[in-house]
Structure 1
Amino acid sequence: MKPLPLPLRVAAGLAMAAAERARELPRQLLGLPVTVLSRALQFSMRVQQQVTELAIKGDQALSSFRPVEETPSWATFDEDIEPQASTNGHRSDAVAARDPWEQEERALAEDHTEGEFDSTIDPEAVLGPVGLANYDELSLPQLRARLRRFSLEQLEELLAYERAHANRPSFVGMLTRRIGNVQRLGEGTADDGAQ
């Protein structure tokens, strides 16, 4: 048998391909919104990347014309703000109200009138914190990580040392809460958490 002419065979192939595409069309239509959304997001991300790259190049080009700020105006921390003193020499209630650690310490001091949270400690009587030679250099998270290993007496000594020296409200508040937790649980060394 002689083969059919090429144009006829190509036409039949096109018809078959069209029929196959027509059968797959409903399945492709279901995925069409996802495909369109995906491509739109890809395009949007590419545009954002290009804009960011241009901004970085622009910053580099313009940096030689602008002096570098020592401390940016937006970088103000609580430690940088000077406490306002009232007429009697104590911090004003507005500043104290902003410090939750100090409020908590006052509330605990009112609950414990036996003097265990008395902040009038003689600095000469404090020899230093037990087992922490570099205590003054520790950050709040570093101290929190070590609190579990201290007994109630050691915690009270740390609190007395902190109040007599740096008297940082966040440290005093954390130590005061930890002492309260240890007393509440009646443990010498507590493993319940360093709060």
Structure 2
Amino acid sequence: MQDSAQDPTQPSRFVLARASLGLASVAVSTALSMPRRVVESAVRLPAGIVGAGARTYLHVIHTVNELAVQGDAVIGAILPPKEENPEWATFDEDVELAEELRDADSDDGIDGFDAAETEADV
């Protein structure tokens, strides 16, 4: 009679026993590492949730901004922008121009009177 350990085509008589011992060993090592895994998971879980929330928030904001840019393009195509400045807006060029006009007006006046005011009164 041949030994089954030497013949690879024949299953070993103790395969189920060895597999059962291997399964028991894995179960024991998993059970022993469970407290460590639970603590690690408990520590990582809040950070993971916060990270996922922040990632989702940024993705939503990015998508909303892309849609707003596309909406601006549509509005710009339908209603072309006006070139005039609103009366409530003050620009640097306007301030400089007003100062230049004020300086020019003060040079034209005599004794505090403005030449334009004098002509308008006449």
SS of 2:15 mapped into structure 1:
coil
Alignment of 1:30 onto 2:43: yes
The whole-number CA distance in structure 1 between the counterparts of 2:15 and 2:69 is 66
Alignment of 1:67 onto 2:84: no
TM-score w.r.t. length of structure 1: 0.34
Aligned residues: 89
Root mean square deviation, CA, Å: 3.7
TM-score w.r.t. length of structure 2: 0.50
Structure 1 residue 53: deviation in Å? Answer: 1.1
Matched to 1:89, the amino acid is: S
Alignment of 1:79 onto 2:96: no
The whole-number CA distance in structure 2 between the counterparts of 1:80 and 1:11 is 86
Structure 1 residue 40: deviation in Å? Answer: 0.9
What are the residue-to-residue correspondences of 1:9-158 with 2, within 5 Å? 13=26, 16-17=29-30, 19-70=32-83, 73=86, 76-81=90-95, 82-83=98-99, 85=102, 89=106
Which ranges of structure 2 fall in alignment gaps of 5 or more residues?
A: 1-12, 108-122
CA deviations 1:91-144 (Å, max 9, x no partner) are xxxxxxxxxxxxxxxxxxxxxxxxxxxxxxxxxxxxxxxxxxxxxxxxxxxxxx
The whole-number CA distance in structure 2 between the counterparts of 1:14 and 1:72 is 77
Higher relative contact order (CA 8 A, sep 6+): 1
Identity %: 26
Q: Greater Rg, structure 1 or structure 2? A: 2
Which ranges of structure 1 fall in alignment gaps of 5 or more residues?
A: 91-195
Q: Which of the two has greater helix per residue?
A: 2
